A and B are shown apart, each in its own frame.
Chain A
Amino acid sequence: VCIHRVRSCSSVRSVKSKYVCVFDRSALNFSHQQRLLRTSAVSCGQIVQFKLSDIGEGITEVTVKEWYIKEGDSVSQFDSICEVQSDKASVTITSRYDGVIRKLHYSIDEIAFVGKPLVDIEIDASKGVASEEDVVETPPMSHEEHTHQEIKGHKTLATPAVRRLAMENNIKLSEVVGTGKDNRILKEDILNYLAKQTGAILPPSPKAEIIPPLPKSETVPAAPKDKARKIPVPVSRPIVFSGKDKTEPVTGFQKAMVKTMSAALKIPHFGYCDEIDLTQLVQLREDLKPLAEIRGVKLSFMPFFIKAASLGLLQYPILNASLDENCQNVTYKASHNIGVAMDTEQGLIVPNVKNVQVCSVFDIAAELNRLQSLGSAGQLGTSDLTGGTFTLSNIGTIGGTYAKPVILPPEVAIGALGKIQVLPRFNGKGEVFKAQVMNVSWSADHRVIDGATMARFSNLWKSYLENPASMLLDLK
């Protein structure tokens, strides 16, 4: 091995060869140092020009479409190098060698020629140059595995022999815990991983190629010799957790939330909570549901909550207002554009129903249906998502009772509705009856709204919902 290295070194870099060889001779028995040598020396391997192999069908040129590696990356045999395209065929070019990429001969969209060099690879000196034909019929690295590595942007450290062992057994290197230096995966790690899978300690592979000799401390401990005579001492195996922290950039959606919530923080919130008896409303909705369905609309409780809120806002318009930046002016908004918080795949969005003050409960239900279907398809428009003046958040559909909602600027109030629970309550005669109870939690801007106003609004809203017939008196 040493002699080979001397030869290849002298052909590449004559200046460094003396130093390298001296170091190498004395370091023959120590694998770690051998590895150190490989990683610290700038180039001591042979640079091979990997040529673009025949594509078939007489094709002579292709267009390079995507590089999977860059200069300086280390590759193993069969790793994907790039994607080229020729006449409706997309070809994945894989590496024939193990080594380090030293030069890419083409950039994206350039034409590459069959038979001409594609990349320069510096071969691992200890392996020598791999033969021209494909030697082993091993399965190509699955695209999924490759993309997995690509996305994670993290190359697992392992010698080519270890990689081959992993590949032969269809093991993902990213799932194996490396116990070598710098979390390098050793052959023992692969065997331990397999042992965990098959439940047995297995003998090392007879086909193993050049295995760097391991220092004694890392060999697998021998099975205990004495049998069941002494009290068995549990073998303390260090609990290995191979999970890693994952850092991702804040998504577009989260960035939007950051902005809104930072602005909301400036608003001095106060809360007010109450309990609503929806027994009568539940019955009313049951009666009206089929009527709405005939007209093609799904009727939930929200349209009632929204309409009752609008009726309340007519009496307490300060809750439908907006305070300007300097806190100089309060604008009482004429339209009641009541926002409904929706939970979608992307996160929380708040489309609003426009002009609730002139809508019937049925109109509101129909509009909610429209917004909900657009919301789940991710197709809400800007007009649906802007112009809100007051918001209701029905967290009860997911669960929970009381909440502490955050006001969405430029609004001044928000209500969070808990889930409807069946609870025992006392009626006027002192008898216990089954009540349908829902909790509401309001938050309001204390700069322009006081507790009494919030309480009165809440009471009015509550009375409309506890006795739905009273809504008829004030319906516009």
Chain B
Amino acid sequence: MILQPSLRNCLWLSCVLRTPKAEFRSTAGGGLIIQSVSNDVFQNLAVEDWIHDHMDLEKRQVLFLWRNSPAVVIGRHQNPWQECNLRLLRQKNIKLARRRSGGGTVYHDLGNINLTFFTTRKKYERMQNLKLVVKALKALRPQLDVHVTDRYDIMLDRHYKISGTAAKLGRTSAYHHCTLLCNADKFVLSSVLKSPYTGLKSNATPSVPASVKNLFEEDPSLTSEMLLDAIAKEYATQHQTDHRITLINPADETLLPGINSRTKELQTWEWVYGKTPKFSVSTCLNMAYKDSVLEVKVNMDVKHGRIEMCNIDLPEQWLPPALYSELVRSLTGSKFCPNETTTRVTTLQRVCPQDDELHSRWNLLCENMIMLM
């Protein structure tokens, strides 16, 4: 007994309402093309989730086009400390997001376009989608040397990766998304995707680095808009549907009920950092103190983004034992996060014995520990 219009029909209904009836008949094909008006990575990822969970893809498949302002997106089972330079991200105010699909880490900015192909679980077919993209590119610029590899990458001139792929499969629906490098900032890309953190050991999915190139470098007349349009056109042809791109606003709660809480969930620390598979940190701090350099071994286990175990091998009596155990106690169970750690250690310092020498040692150790995060 279905009493309320089921959510799966909501988006379809809204589209119908917006398209004049005469034209609607001709769009009753197998595909729907939508584009996001937002450049917020979290909002756009939330739209993907929403479509995956709510839309009935039996009757029509969906192509979702989106672009983000600078952000690093890691795969579902990856470790952000291993994949990117978190310090640099914070400094440059570049967002960090974890998507629900698998695969590796990518850098997004407005010069990097995202395409998501939504189908039923049975019709999940990545190669077909990528071949569609290549066909669209070749139709736009026949001289482009682009092809799909068996790792589901799209290569330019045989050497350079211009697109990476990831996918998510649910019970009845699935999606395959990929990027396409049009005119992204390669300098920022390479610097943020290089991790400075050493001594990390985990079973998280590692990314496979590749040389990249922008399509813009190959042909400066190409723009992101042109590429989006070409791909939409090819999709429309292959799905026998109207070449019409419907714009959607990922903040529209009436169109996409529940979207704002999904967006919020994707931004929580528990999702972005807390979903990191268990890992251990085993490294050596080189602390310059007075006239010497102290080598201090540090071992930590981090689970769900929180420090489960922490061991710092300090020279004997360098810190009073009571203070050392206070520090370890404070770190254990807290987030592997520089902000939280800074707050804790600076507060602890207030209740330390008032001794300049002690304070400088404490600050030195804490700053080095924070650098690991």
Seen from chain A, the residues whose Cβ lies within 8 Å of a Cβ on chain B are 55-57, 65-66, 78, 83, 85-92, 94, 108-109, 134, 137, 139-140, 142-144, 147, 165, 168-170, 194, 197-198, 202, 205-207, 252-253, 255-257, 259-260, 263, 322, 324-325, 331, 346, 349, 377-383, 385-387, 408-410
Contacts and interface: CB of A to CB of B under 8 A. Distances in A.
Interface stretch (B17-25, B108-116, B348-356): B348-356
Given A90-B102, A169-B1, A202-B3, A140 B347 contact: no
B76 A252 contact: no
A139 B6 contact: yes
B5 to A, nearest CB: 10
Contact of B353 (A88, A94, A198, A325): A325
Contacts of B334: 252, 255
Contacts of A168: 1-2
B344 A78 contact: no
Contacts of A142: 53-54, 258
Nearest 7 pairs between A and B by C-beta?
A88-B103, A90-B102, A256-B347, A89-B167, A385-B346, A91-B169, A205-B1
B343 A253 contact: yes
Given A88-B104, A168-B1, A322 B76 contact: no
Contacts of A55: 169
A406 to B, nearest CB: 12
B265 A144 contact: yes
A200 to B, nearest CB: 10
A260 B351 contact: yes
A349 B354 contact: no
B90 interface: yes
A169 B3 CA distance: 6
B317 interface: no
Contact of B366 (A90, A256, A322, A382): A382
A386 B1 CA distance: 63
A83 B169 contact: no
Given A57-B126, A65-B77, A206-B1, A147 B169 contact: no
B2 A90 contact: no
Contact of B262 (A90, A144, A202, A385): A144
Interface in B186-235: 203, 205
Interface in B1-46: 1-4, 6-8
B261 interface: yes
A72 B331 CA distance: 33
Given A85-B102, A88-B167, A256 B348 contact: yes
Contacts of B76: 65, 83, 85, 90
20 contacts: A56-B174, A57-B125, A65-B277, A86-B102, A87-B102, A88-B102, A90-B77, A91-B169, A91-B170, A94-B170, A108-B277, A109-B203, A202-B3, A255-B344, A257-B347, A346-B343, A382-B345, A382-B366, A409-B350, A410-B350
Given A88-B165, A89-B102, A169-B1, A382 B7 contact: no
A197 B3 CA distance: 10
A160 B261 CA distance: 27
Size range of the chain B interface in the assembly: 35 or more
Interface-central residue, B277, B347, B367, by most chain A CB under 10 Å: B347
Contacts of B172: 134, 137, 139-140
Contacts of B49: 143-144
Nearest to B203: A109
Interface string B334-373: 1100011011111111110110000100010011001000
A380 B4 CA distance: 50
B363 A382 contact: yes
B347 A88 contact: no
B168 A89 contact: yes
B347 A259 contact: yes
Contacts of B339: 346, 378-379
Nearest to B348: A259
Nearest to A142: B53
Q: Which of A66, A252, A381 has the most CB of B within 10 A?
A: A252
A205 B345 CA distance: 60
Contacts of B353: 324-325
A197 B5 CA distance: 13
Contacts of A380: 342
Given A139-B54, A252-B340, A257-B347, 20 more contacts: A56-B124, A65-B277, A88-B104, A89-B102, A89-B166, A89-B168, A90-B102, A92-B170, A94-B171, A139-B6, A139-B172, A140-B172, A144-B258, A170-B6, A252-B334, A252-B343, A259-B347, A260-B350, A331-B354, A382-B370
Given A78-B171, A194-B3, A322-B354, A381 B77 contact: no
Contacts of A207: 1
Nearest to B101: A90
A147 B53 CA distance: 13
B121 interface: yes
A331 B172 CA distance: 71
Nearest to B353: A325
B15 to A, nearest CB: 19
Contact of B354 (A383, A408, A410): A410
A408 B6 CA distance: 56
A353 to B, nearest CB: 16
B6 A85 contact: no
Nearest to A208: B1
Contacts of B93: 377
Given A259-B348, A386-B363, A139 B53 contact: yes
A197 B168 CA distance: 34
Interface string B95-129: 00000111110000000000000000110111000
B324 interface: no
B102 A143 contact: no
A305 B316 CA distance: 45
Contacts of A83: 76-77
B81 interface: no
B77 A259 contact: no
Contacts of A256: 343-344, 347-348
B75 interface: yes
Contact of A85 (B3, B77, B165, B262): B77
B265 A147 contact: yes
A207 B3 CA distance: 13
Contacts of A253: 340, 343
